[in-house]
């Protein structure tokens, strides 16, 4: 028997049929092909660049940019460097992504809940909204907002007034706050009032549970905040902030906060387009919760809104978070379409740098690096929330 | 025993009246629109919104001056395709009509709806007032062609394989027809434009990215670390950056990377960019399908003595792809919508042509009309595709136990 085994060992298959060697050969061949291809491409690029007389490297970032940026969040002059211009582009991307994510979540939640409403008309209205806006390309929507809504607005001298907002082809001015003197005191008192309100809420809730009588804990908490607000108004003599409605003064707006046509178009386009996807995600999440849960909530006598808030939503959120993350990432990536309407975010400024400094490879590498960082940070954050929301099992 | 509860006892006070009427128009209205004060408010608010939007949209549509679409209709559809070569486009349309008609006859189901919608669009363009007479005749010919091939498809069931082959070869055939097969003069790709270019880019990207996506998905699940990590890096890198940067890369850097030896046309560069981009997304969809296949399938295939290639090709992949077809169609819809991005890199597909049209001083202030028309075309095709995806979801799921 042992002799037979020994004999078997000596008859090993030829190496091209050996199950241990084949994978190694395959991988080596694959790696060689990829490396050769990469070498060829990079070699071509390098020799091409040498012909035009450009060297690779990021030292050009310290050179003077020489172009102006209309919406800079930090102080910027055309005499500043390319590096600073790119940082401003990054901040502008973050700005549109930040407001976009907040607004689209709110809008998506409203539309998604309306879609599930028992009211036939409302549900159909939300359905039509979703169908129309998710089946037309985002860029077409942005173009409609930009070229057909915001640019044809009247001249600034004849700005269109709608409520406290002013619309003109120079941009949209919305009311904005301005700090008053007593803001610090207000802030402190407000914080204190929140802490007190929280404890009052807890106390009243405890009493309600013990006595079984309705004690209106949230009304009590609200009352505390209102009382403190009145007290602080009396003490400081004015409100914490005052709202300034914009007015037209000469060739510009006076007061208020001015949104450029490009920013308004990209923000509206992104918010409306993404909200349709979020609405569907929320609907899928709520429908994904076991039917027994809503029946049990009903059996316990919870009313619809309470059941939705306390029973359905905490469970639905587990289904909702992962696709919601990818929608937030999509929104951030889609903000790059701003390049088409002249809102200067990272791709737009990167493009300008690319053309002016003649550094295509470096500029595109920077854009890619910025977006990869955003993606990574967002998915890390959302993974953290996801872990928090996950079901804790035995 | 007297103190036993009497379950069936009813006193006069607890007699319950008959349930509310829930059938008929009145009942339906009551349950769906006016069942409580909150519901009534919601109904009133939505009715106000709907009537406001419908009134103003209707007013705009009827009062707007649509001559800008009339006089640029050809530009928006085929771009600057030379007038004397238009027959090539029509030949492609005839081929697609024949294919649609015969597929409707052969497979019925979802193909019926697709074919009918396309035929409906042809009828719609037939009754547009500004279409020329000979175009009308060609459209009538196409509609007849659809129904003729429908009858042929119903009668001759042997046609299934040739029709499938023609569908697969359709795109290469059309592109070589435009290039003249080497016999006819070439219609250069830089004058392809309008909706024709949109359709060409989208279909090339869809057709080419699918096999690439399958390969990437398989590579990502491969046991060979080099292949696996290459696929992971590729997929995550592409998914992490916006499409527009990829288009910039291919528009600006492809000539640089390929050196002076190879000349690549603008259209081809964009097509390559779209294909590589959507392959990464499709790969993730397909990977989801692969993961949904239970271990038992692999083990059973191995027990039957199939090697891993056969296991993948005949057992796992067919099931996995079937499971993710609706998701893939969703991806195809977004490729179709994303073709509008090539307007940014200077190609004149539907949206780019629209931009050219509004830049023409003769059509000053007609922005809304042009873009609404473009949005309408995209909307029709995307809705059709998402309808198909929903139907497929139902029909493919029907076999599930």
pLDDT digits (tens, 9 = 90+) for B58-115: 998 888 888 888 888 888 888 888 887 888 888 888 888 888 888 888 887 778 888 8
**Dist CA A32 CA B84 (whole Å):** 50
Over residues B123-152, the mean pLDDT reads: 85
pLDDT band for B336, please (50, 70, 90 cuts).
Answer: very high
**Among residues B208, B237, B196, which one has the least CA distance to residue B220?**
B237
Q: Taking a C-beta distance cutoff of 8 angstroms, is the pair A80, A65 a contact?
A: yes
End-to-end CA distance of chain A: 51
For residue A233 the two structure tokens come to: 């108004």
Is B385 inside any structural domain? no
What pLDDT does B401 receive? Answer: 40
**Among residues B92, B80, B77, B91, which one has the least CA distance to residue B128?**
B77
pLDDT digits (tens, 9 = 90+) for B231-252: 999 998 898 889 999 998 888 8
Looking at per-residue confidence, does B385 or B6 come out higher?
B385
Q: How many residues does chain A have?
A: 394
**Among residues B215, B221, B218, B203, which one has the least CA distance to residue B167?**
B203
Beta bridge partners of A173: A166, A258
Q: Taking a C-beta distance cutoff of 8 angstroms, is the pair B160, B109 a contact?
A: no
What pLDDT does B341 receive? Answer: 93
DSSP class of residue A81?
Answer: B
For residue A220 the two structure tokens come to: 């009590």
**Maximum C-alpha span of chain A:** 105
Is B61 inside any structural domain? no
pLDDT digits (tens, 9 = 90+) for B144-175: 888 888 888 888 878 788 888 888 888 888 88
How many Cα neighbours within 13 Å face the side chain of A204?
17
Least confident of A160-164, A367-371, B309-313: A160-164
Q: Is A191 on the interface with B (CB under 8 A)?
A: no
Q: Taking a C-beta distance cutoff of 8 angstroms, is the pair B348, B356 a contact?
A: yes
Nearest CB partner across the interface for B227, out of A27, A47, A347: A27
Q: Which residues contact A100 (CB under 8 A, 6 or more apart)?
A: A267, A270, A271, A274, A331, A335
On average, the pLDDT of chain B sits at 84
What pLDDT does A361 receive? Answer: 82
Residue in A with minimal Cα distance to B28: A120
End-to-end CA distance of chain B: 53
Q: Which chain B residues have a beta carbon less than 8 Å from that of A122?
A: 42-43, 45-46
C-alpha dist (Å) from residue B373 to A102, B72, B73: 31, 11, 10
Over residues A225-229, the mean pLDDT reads: 84
Q: Taking a C-beta distance cutoff of 8 angstroms, is the pair A181, A195 a contact?
A: no
Residue in B with minimal Cα distance to A330: B242
Q: Is 90 exceeded by the pLDDT of residue A222?
A: no
β-pair type (A160-162, A257-259): unpaired
CA dihedral B73, B75, B79, B85 (to 10 degrees): 80
Is B2 inside any structural domain? no
Residue in A with minimal Cα distance to B337: A137
Query: Using the beta-carbon criterion (under 8 Å), do A30 and B351 form an inter-chain contact?
Result: no
Over residues A178-191, the mean pLDDT reads: 77
Looking at per-residue confidence, does B9 or A38 come out higher?
A38
How many Cα neighbours within 13 Å face the side chain of A251?
0
What pLDDT does A4 receive? Answer: 53
Query: Using the beta-carbon criterion (under 8 Å), do A147 and B371 form an inter-chain contact?
Result: yes
For residue A125 the two structure tokens come to: 């209205």
Q: Is 80 exceeded by the pLDDT of residue B27?
A: no
Distance from the A297 Cα atom to the nearest Cα atom in chain B, whole angstroms: 21
Is B119 inside any structural domain? no
**Dist CA A23 CA A231 (whole Å):** 77
What pLDDT does A300 receive? Answer: 92
Query: Using the beta-carbon criterion (under 8 Å), do B375 and A375 form an inter-chain contact?
Result: no
Looking at per-residue confidence, does A169 or A89 come out higher?
A89
Q: Taking a C-beta distance cutoff of 8 angstroms, is the pair A74, A86 a contact?
A: no
Is B291 inside any structural domain? yes
Q: Which residues contact B391 (CB under 8 A, 6 or more apart)?
A: B109, B110, B113
Q: What's chain B's Rg over C-alpha atoms?
A: 28
Q: The whole model's pTM is what?
A: 0.85
> If contacts are CB pairs under 8 Å, which of residues 49-88 in chain A contact chain B?
49
Q: Which residues contact A74 (CB under 8 A, 6 or more apart)?
A: A87, A88, A91
Looking at per-residue confidence, does A276 or B396 come out higher?
A276
How would you class A323 by CB atoms within 10 Å of its CB: exposed for 0-12, middle for 13-18, buried for 19 or more?
A: middle
Nearest CB partner across the interface for A143, out of B237, B258, B371: B371
**Dist CA A250 CA A258 (whole Å):** 15
β-pair type (A241-244, A176-179): antiparallel
Q: Which residues contact A278 (CB under 8 A, 6 or more apart)?
A: A104, A105, A107, A108, A109, A111, A112, A324, A327
What pLDDT does A151 receive? Answer: 84
Query: Using the beta-carbon criterion (under 8 Å), do A147 and B39 form an inter-chain contact?
Result: no
Query: Using the beta-carbon criterion (under 8 Å), do B341 and A131 form an inter-chain contact?
Result: no
- Count up the domains in chain B and report the number: 1
Helices (H) and strands (E) in chain B, counts: 17, 0
How would you class A220 by CB atoms within 10 Å of its CB: exposed for 0-12, middle for 13-18, buried for 19 or more?
A: middle
**Percent of chain B's residues with pLDDT above 70:** 93
For residue B308 the two structure tokens come to: 């891993």
Q: Which domain holds residue B254?
A: 195-365
What pLDDT does A173 receive? Answer: 82
Q: Is B42 on the interface with A (CB under 8 A)?
A: yes
- State the CATH number of the domain containing residue B324: 1.10.3720.10
**Dist CA A128 CA B43 (whole Å):** 16
> If contacts are CB pairs under 8 Å, which of residues 236-255 in chain B contact chain A?
237, 239-245, 248-249, 252-253
Q: Which chain A residues have a beta carbon less than 8 Å from that of B39?
A: 118-119
Residue in A with minimal Cα distance to B34: A119
Residue B341 Cα to chain centre, angstroms: 16
pLDDT digits (tens, 9 = 90+) for A91-146: 999 999 999 999 999 999 999 999 988 888 999 999 999 999 999 999 999 999 99
**Dist CA B94 CA A149 (whole Å):** 39
DSSP class of residue B249?
Answer: I
DSSP string, A129-179: HHHHHHSS-HHHHHHIIIIIIITTSPPGGG-EEETTEEEETTEEEE-EEEE
Looking at per-residue confidence, does B213 or B391 come out higher?
B213
Q: Is 50 exceeded by the pLDDT of residue B1?
A: no
Q: Is 60 exceeded by the pLDDT of residue B12?
A: no
**Percent of chain A's residues with pLDDT above 90:** 23
Question: A318: how many CB neighbours lie within 10 A of its CB?
Answer: 15
Q: Which chain A residues have a beta carbon less than 8 Å from that of B365?
A: 152
pLDDT band for A5, please (50, 70, 90 cuts).
Answer: low
Nearest CB partner across the interface for B343, out of A131, A138, A139: A139
Is B66 inside any structural domain? no
Q: Is B256 on the interface with A (CB under 8 A)?
A: yes
Q: Which residues contact A314 (CB under 8 A, 6 or more apart)?
A: A389
Q: Which residues contact B80 (CB under 8 A, 6 or more apart)?
A: B191, B193, B348
**Dist CA A325 CA A322 (whole Å):** 5
DSSP H helical ranges for chain A: 2-10, 21-52, 82-115, 120-134, 138-143, 183-211, 217-236, 261-288, 291-299, 304-307, 313-334, 346-357, 360-389
Query: Using the beta-carbon criterion (under 8 Å), do A30 and B49 form an inter-chain contact?
Result: no
What pLDDT does B120 receive? Answer: 87
What pLDDT does B13 receive? Answer: 57
pLDDT digits (tens, 9 = 90+) for A229-260: 888 778 777 777 777 777 777 777 777 778 88
What pLDDT does B53 receive? Answer: 92
Nearest CB partner across the interface for B379, out of A45, A120, A132: A132
Nearest CB partner across the interface for B240, out of A131, A336, A372: A372
Give the domain A82-152+260-389 fold: MetI-like fold (1.10.3720)
At B277, is the secondary structure helix, strand, or coil?
helix
pLDDT digits (tens, 9 = 90+) for B266-301: 888 899 999 999 999 999 999 988 888 888 988 999
C-alpha dist (Å) from residue B44 to A115, B24, B41, B51, B53: 16, 21, 5, 10, 14
A12 phi and psi, to 5 degrees? -85, 150
Residue B195 Cα to chain centre, angstroms: 14
Residue in B with minimal Cα distance to A372: B240
Q: Taking a C-beta distance cutoff of 8 angstroms, is the pair A74, A94 a contact?
A: no
At A349, is the secondary structure helix, strand, or coil?
helix
At A265, is the secondary structure helix, strand, or coil?
helix
pLDDT band for A391, please (50, 70, 90 cuts).
Answer: low
Is B289 inside any structural domain? yes
| Sign of the torsion angle spanned by Cα atoms B356, B357, B360, B361 | negative
Nearest CB partner across the interface for A30, out of B226, B378, B386: B226
Looking at per-residue confidence, does B3 or A286 come out higher?
A286
How many Cα neighbours within 13 Å face the side chain of B366?
24
Q: Is B216 on the interface with A (CB under 8 A)?
A: no
DSSP class of residue B315?
Answer: I
What pLDDT does A112 receive? Answer: 93
Region for residue B150 given its phi and psi (left: phi exceeds 0; alpha: psi -120 to 50; beta: otherwise): alpha
Over residues A316-330, the mean pLDDT reads: 87
Q: Is 90 exceeded by the pLDDT of residue B51?
A: yes
DSSP string, B30-80: HHHT-SSHHHHHHHHHHHHHHHHHHHHHHHHHHHS-THHHHHHHHHHHHBT
Q: Is A98 on the interface with B (CB under 8 A)?
A: no
């Amino acid at each position: 028997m042992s002799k037979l085994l020994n004999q078997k060992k000596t008859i090993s298959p030829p190496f091209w049929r050996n199950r241990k060697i084949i994978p190694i050969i395959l991988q080596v061949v694959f790696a060689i092909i990829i490396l050769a291809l990469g070498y060829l491409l990079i070699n071509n690029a390098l020799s091409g660049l040498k012909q035009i007389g450009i060297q690779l490297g990021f030292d050009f970032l310290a050179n003077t940019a020489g172009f102006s940026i209309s919406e800079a969040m930090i102080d910027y002059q055309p005499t500043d460097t390319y590096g600073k211009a790119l940082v401003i582009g990054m901040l502008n991307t973050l700005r549109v992504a930040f407001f976009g994510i907040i607004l689209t979540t709110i809008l998506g939640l409203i539309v998604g809940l309306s879609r599930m409403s028992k009211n036939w008309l409302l549900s159909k209205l939300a359905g039509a909204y979703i169908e129309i806006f998710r089946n037309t390309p985002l860029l077409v929507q942005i173009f409609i907002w930009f070229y057909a809504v915001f640019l044809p607005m009247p001249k600034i001298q004849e700005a269109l007034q709608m409520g406290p907002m002013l619309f003109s082809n120079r941009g949209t001015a919305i009311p904005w706050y301005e700090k008053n003197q007593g803001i610090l005191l207000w802030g402190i008192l407000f914080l204190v009032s929140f802490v007190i309100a929280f404890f009052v809420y807890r106390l009243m809730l405890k009493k309600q549970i013990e006595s079984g009588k309705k004690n209106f804990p949230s009304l009590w908490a609200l009352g505390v905040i209102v009382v403190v607000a009145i007290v602080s108004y009396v003490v400081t003599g004015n409100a914490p902030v005052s709202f300034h409605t914009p007015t037209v003064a000469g060739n510009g707006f006076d007061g208020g906060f001015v949104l450029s046509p490009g920013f308004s178009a990209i923000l509206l386009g992104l918010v409306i387009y993404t909200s349709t996807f979020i609405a569907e995600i929320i609907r899928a999440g709520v429908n994904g919760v076991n039917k027994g849960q809503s029946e049990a909530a009903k059996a316990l006598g919870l009313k619809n809104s309470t059941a939705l808030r306390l029973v359905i939503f905490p469970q639905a959120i587990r289904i909702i978070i992962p696709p919601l993350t990818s929608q937030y990432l999509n929104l951030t990536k889609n903000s790059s379409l701003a390049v088409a309407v002249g809102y200067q975010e990272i791709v737009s400024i990167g493009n300008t740098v690319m053309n002016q400094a003649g550094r295509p490879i470096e500029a595109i590498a920077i854009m890619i690096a910025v977006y990869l960082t955003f993606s990574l940070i967002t998915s890390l954050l959302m993974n953290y929330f996801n872990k928090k929301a996950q079901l804790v099992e035995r | 025993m007297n103190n036993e509860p009497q379950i069936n006892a009813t006193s006069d006070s607890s007699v319950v009246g008959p349930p509310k009427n829930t059938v008929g128009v009145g009942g339906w209205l009551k349950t769906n629109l006016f069942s409580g004060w909150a519901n009534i408010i919601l109904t009133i608010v939505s009715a106000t919104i709907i009537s406001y939007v419908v009134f103003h949209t209707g007013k705009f549509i009827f009062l707007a001056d649509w001559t800008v679409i009339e006089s640029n209709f050809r530009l928006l559809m085929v771009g600057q395709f030379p007038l004397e070569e238009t027959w090539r486009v029509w030949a492609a349309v005839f081929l697609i009509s024949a294919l649609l008609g015969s597929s409707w006859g052969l497979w019925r189901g979802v193909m019926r709806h697709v074919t009918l919608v396309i035929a409906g669009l042809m009828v719609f363009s037939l009754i547009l007032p500004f279409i020329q007479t000979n175009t009308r005749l060609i459209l009538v010919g196409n509609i007849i062609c659809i129904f003729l091939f429908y009858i042929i498809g119903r009668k001759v069931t042997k046609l299934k394989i040739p029709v499938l082959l023609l569908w697969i070869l359709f795109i290469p055939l059309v592109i070589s027809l435009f290039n003249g097969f080497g016999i006819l003069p070439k219609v250069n790709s830089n004058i392809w434009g309008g909706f024709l270019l949109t359709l060409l880019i989208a279909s090339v990207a869809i057709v080419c990215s699918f096999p690439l996506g399958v390969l990437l998905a398989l590579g990502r699940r491969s046991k060979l670390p080099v292949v696996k990590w290459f696929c992971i890096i590729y997929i995550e890198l592409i998914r992490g950056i916006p499409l527009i940067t990829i288009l910039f890369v291919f528009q600006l850097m492809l000539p640089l990377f390929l050196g002076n030896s190879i000349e690549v046309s603008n259209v081809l560069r964009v097509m390559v960019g779209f294909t590589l981009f959507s392959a990464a997304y499709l790969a993730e969809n397909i990977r989801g399908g692969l993961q949904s296949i239970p271990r038992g399938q692999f083990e059973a295939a191995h027990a039957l003595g199939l090697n891993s290639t056969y296991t993948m090709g005949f057992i796992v992949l067919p099931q996995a792809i079937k499971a993710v077809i609706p998701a893939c169609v969703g991806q195809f819809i977004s490729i179709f919508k994303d073709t509008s991005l090539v307007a940014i890199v200077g190609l004149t597909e539907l949206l780019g042509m629209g931009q050219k049209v509004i830049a023409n001083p003769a059509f000053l202030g007609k922005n809304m009309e042009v873009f609404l028309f473009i949005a309408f075309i995209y909307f029709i095709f995307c809705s059709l595709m998402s309808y198909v995806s929903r139907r497929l979801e139902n029909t493919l799921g029907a076999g599930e136990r």
